[in-house]
Every structure is written in structure tokens, then in C-alpha cells.
Amino acid sequence: MSLLYITGMASKSTYHAAHVFVAGVRVFEHLNRRPPTLKDLSELLKMSEEELSLLSRKLVDQGIVTEIISGAECRYGVGDFTKIESLPKEGETPRMVDEISQFQSRQQSRLKELEKSLSGGGEKQKVFSELEKALKDPSSLQKKKNPLD
């Protein structure tokens, strides 16, 4: 596996990312004879600690990876790695993209409703004809009584 494949893990599926994470844990344990921290995995896999942190939480929740907490340090070990096969293999679309598309569709429908209400030709024509009459002959307008008079 090349480093180019690993560095683009943000766009890969959870299935592929889990395999890379577990492999990183195993390789680090083999080379250093101790479980890795997120910083160790970040250096080994050339991935950001933030991305690994999000992934590790998902994997710990599912029992694929175990957390070894001692003092202020958190190290990771391999748990039930066979559960990786139950993860979705397709790339997941971010929730933000879904929310944006829903927002855009709501805006489109509101815009259509607004255009429909404005295109009500009868009322619009009546208002314009009254304005034209008022511009041509201002004396034809009835003055409204001022409530202060």
C-alpha cells in the first residue's frame, strides 16, 4: 500500500480506514514493542491526529480497537478486528452535503412559491393601472383624511 493511498483517507470509506488503522496499530506494535498513541499512528500513517481521533472513537465504540488509558496517555490495541467486515464499504457522503442539498431544495421551492404569488396577473395589473391613473391625473385620487386633523 502506498502512502498516496493512505493520505487521502478522508475520502475513503470507514471500512478502508479501519483496515489502515488496525494495520498501523499492528505495525507500530511490531516495530516498537508497545501500543501506539494517536501521535505515533499519525507519524506512521501520515494522517492527521484529528482524523485518526474521529476514526478511533468509531472503532472503539464498535469494539474493533481497544483503548489503553494510563495517566494522560491513551494507547490503542487491536480488538475484534473481524467486525471490520460489517462496516460499509462505500464512501459515506458527509451529512453537511446532505443538509446543504436539502436547504437548496427548500430555497428553490420558496422561490417558486414567491414567483407564483407575484405572477398573480390580475392584482398586479390593477395596482399598475391605478398608479398610471394617479400619475396622469393626480386630482382623481381621493385624499385620505389625516387622523390628526
State yes or no: pLDDT of 21 exceeds 70.
yes
H/E element, 73: strand 73-78
Domain membership flag for residue 146:
no
Residue where one domain finishes, among candidates 28, 56, 86: 86
pTM (2 d.p.): 0.56
pLDDT at 37 over 80: yes
Q: Return the pLDDT at 94.
A: 67
The CATH number that applies at residue 45 is 1.10.10.10
Asked whether residue 82 falls in the same domain as residue 99, the answer is: no
What is the rounded CA–CA span in Å between residue 59 and residue 85? 12
Question: Rounded mean pLDDT of 55-84?
Answer: 92
- CA–CA dist 64, 143 (Å, integer): 81
Residues 70 and 114 in one domain: no
**Shared-domain flag, residues 79 and 120:** no
- Do 31 and 73 belong to one domain? yes
Please indicate, yes or no, if residue 107 is contained in any of the structural domains: yes
pLDDT of res. 91: 62
Distance CA 20, CA 26 (A): 10
* Number of structural domains in the chain: 2
For residue 43, the one-letter residue type is E
From 86, 105, 121, give the residue that closes a domain: 86
Q: Quick: pLDDT tens for 114-137.
A: 787 777 666 667 777 777 877 777
Q: What angle do CA 83, 96, 2 make, to 5 degrees?
A: 50
- Tens-digit pLDDT profile for residues 87-117: 887 765 567 777 888 888 888 988 888 787 7
Question: pLDDT above 90 covers what percent of the chain?
Answer: 42
Task: Indicate if the pLDDT at residue 46 is higher than 90.
Answer: yes
- Per the structure, the complete domain to which residue 118 belongs is given by 95-135
Asked, for residue 141, whether it belongs to a domain, the answer is: no
Q: Is 78 helix (H, G, I), strand (E, B) or coil?
A: strand
